[in-house]
Amino acid sequence: MNQLLQKFDFSNELQDLLSNCAGVHTPTTKAELYKLVYGSEETMIHDVVYTIPGKGDIKEANVVRCKNGAAVNYVEDYMRRRDPNCMVIADHKPTDKPKYKDVYGMEFDSVRNETFEWLKTQELIVIPFNAGGNVHGYGSLLVCPLNAAFFAYGVALLQGFINAEESEGFRPRAVIYVAPPFRHTHFNGKQVCVHNRLDDCHEIFSYNLYPGPSAKKGVYSVLLDIGESEGWVTAHASCAKVVTPYENEVVIMHEGASGGGKSELLEEIKKLSDGRVLLGTHTISGEKNYINMGDTCTIKPVTDDMAICHPAFQNQSGKLCLTDGEDGWFLRVDGITQYGSSPEHEKISIHSDEPLIFFNLQGIPGSTCLLWEHTLDSDGKPCPNPRVIIPRKYIENIVDEPVEVSVRSFGVRMPPSTAENPNYGILGMLHIIPPALAWLWRLVSPRGHNNPSIVDSKGMISEGVGSYWPFATGERVKQANLLLDQIMSSPNTKYILVPNQHIGVYEVGFAPENIVVEYLARRGGVNFKMDHLVESRCSLLGYSLKEMKVDGQYIRPKFLRTEKQALLGTEGYDKGAAILTDFFAREIEKFDTPDLQPLGKEIIQCFRNNGTVEDYCKITPLGLY
């Protein structure tokens, strides 16, 4: 066995695998690992190919050597985004997720053994890393075929890379095993990620080479599993310290399903050349609404997608405290369509101090991979899920220490809504909600309208509790209880709802989120007096603002209360509210079990009784003046 591996404290099974494989590579630096990505220093295009019994050689992806890193493109459109149904659970611990035995009619043990036997036929890359990043991570391990070294390099950028020479006594809390051919030999070509929760180790068997389900969300599963056993949550959230032109600071956390605006929180507000900001475009008439913005806030990013809310960070402030759960960010760049769309990310990706890794972006050997040159799917349209992994250390104004959250936002993708074609896109630009409603929104976590990140994204579908449920391996009610505990233990953190894509009949993109960030930062957070608020017509939306003035300009009332839009009106609004309420009713039922906390049961009963906003506030006070 590789001498470096002697430093590790491996199980007998893992030692046997590594002692009997065709060879082990244990890079001690990311630069050393990058040299393995192409197979040799002269190779410009590396094809990732596996021999499948009865099917011959099947090419999974090609990896192109670019000036600024490796451009990875999968052969199949299907492999270019995460399949939300890829997770199965092999063990017999409590879970609400599909079990391997139920899905495939057999225990996982035999396939697990076959996986180990196949890995023994391969040269392997073995790298230790910290699941959750180097700030508060858990020692883990990747075991990957050498010819898929790009996958290992992606893990090294995403997670907290560890030098194997400094790993004396290292015993992994989690292990990712990568065996791509099994997608074809055992799983009918589907993305499958099998989780096997042993008492002392969380095993992840990645039977595909798209890093989303395993290297990214699989590690998230490990953190959620640890948190479920220890009583804390890794939130599906971005977070930023927002600094006003007058140097006041407010920490805002933004949650939501994939595509819900987490990355957009970290972006500067987009202004036209004349300084105006496009607020919304009328989808029928084409009328455009603008506001003028002078000096805008500085965004200091904290997290992009995973926020570790560990008890060790909590203090006496009464606010939720968190830190980043990643060492690198898996950024979707579908919004970067031309030069200048996102200058900061373009600059980092073109002039990075170390090679990056790009997915679903066009790569020409020896050229610079550009974030706006998206790979075309088989239908000739640009892939909606182009990605780049950027180490967080390269992000300008990055915040490394834990922060206290003043405002906790939830974003929802809204469809266009009119009286003629009513839908649930009835949210105004900003809603203030009590903690009880904040918890309900996190239970149902609507995936919302036209989601670009995953395979099935039509209509209103629940992403599941916390919006991280697709990645959790345990029981949803346990997670519901943990979220409720977290909310109730942070009484000085306030809650809001912010729509994106549409406000009623207006197409708005992510402008509401950007404008709300500017607005709340200037106000110092959610510090409204109650006489500035009005109960929303739909009680699930809490309170709407009577008026909203940003940088000296009033936002038109139709953007604050959508029933004031002529083409929607109260009739269309109420039909949309019914769609939203019925959706909540369906999703909430699964949480009403004997294991749910009494406070949670009280909140759900309030919803069933058609409770008003004031009724929810009686259960969990809003905490305003």
Report the mean per-residue pLDDT for the chain. 94
Of 526, 525, 498, residue with least CA distance to 510 = 498
Of 213, 143, 155, 220, residue with least CA distance to 474 = 220
Q: Decide if 390 contacts 479 (C-beta within 8 A).
A: no
Tell me: pLDDT of 603 over 60: yes
- Phi/psi at 45 (nearest 5 deg)? -130, 120
Report pLDDT for 378: 96
Report pLDDT for 165: 85
Report pLDDT for 458: 54
Report pLDDT for 533: 97
Where does the pLDDT of residue 145 fall: very low under 50, low under 70, confident under 90, or very high at 90 and above? very high
Question: Which neighbouring-strand residues pair with 356?
Answer: 69
- pLDDT tens track for 29-61: 999 999 999 988 889 999 999 999 999 999 999
Report pLDDT for 9: 85
Tell me: pLDDT of 297 over 50: yes
User: Where does the chain hold its CATH 3.40.449.10 domain(s)?
Assistant: 3-61+76-230
Spell 525-542 as b/e; 16+ CB within 10 A means b: bbebeeeebeebbbbbbb
Count of other CB atoms within 10 angstroms of residue 298: 17
Report pLDDT for 455: 46
DSSP 382: B
Q: Write down the CATH number for the domain with range 3-61+76-230.
A: 3.40.449.10
CATH architecture of 234-319+406-619: Alpha-Beta Complex (3.90)
Tell me: pLDDT of 457 over 60: no
More confident residue, 442 or 260: 442
Sheet arrangement for strand 56-66: 45-52, 56-66, 69-74, 356-359, 387-391, 328-332
Where is average pLDDT lowest: 7-21, 148-162, 574-588?
7-21
Q: Decide if 17 contacts 126 (C-beta within 8 A).
A: no
- The mean pLDDT value for 548-557 works out to 94
Radius of gyration of the chain measured on its C-alpha atoms:
24
- The mean pLDDT value for 346-369 works out to 96
CA 126 from chain centre, in angstroms, equals: 26
- The mean pLDDT value for 268-274 works out to 87
Query: How far is 255 from 516, CA to CA, in rounded Å?
Result: 15
User: 333: Cβ–Cβ under 8 A, 6 or more apart, which residues?
Assistant: 342, 345, 361, 371, 372, 374, 386, 387, 388
Tell me: pLDDT of 268 over 90: no
User: 608: Cβ–Cβ under 8 A, 6 or more apart, which residues?
Assistant: 585
Of 265, 260, 213, 583, residue with least CA distance to 451 = 260
Q: How big is the chain, counted in residues?
A: 625
Report pLDDT for 166: 80
Taking the complete model, does pTM exceed 0.85, yes or no? yes
- pLDDT tens track for 72-127: 999 999 999 999 899 999 999 999 999 999 999 999 999 999 999 999 999 999 99
Tell me: pLDDT of 447 over 90: no
How close are the terminal C-alpha atoms of the chain, in Å? Answer: 67
Report pLDDT for 143: 98
Tell me: pLDDT of 243 over 80: yes
- pLDDT tens track for 493-511: 999 999 999 999 999 999 9
Show the CA angle centred on residue 74, arms to residues 371 and 128, nearest 5°.
Answer: 85
- The mean pLDDT value for 192-202 works out to 96
Dihedral, 537, 541, 543, 544 alpha carbons, nearest 10 = -70
Where does the pLDDT of residue 456 fall: very low under 50, low under 70, confident under 90, or very high at 90 and above? very low
User: Where does the chain hold its CATH 3.90.228.20 domain(s)?
Assistant: 234-319+406-619
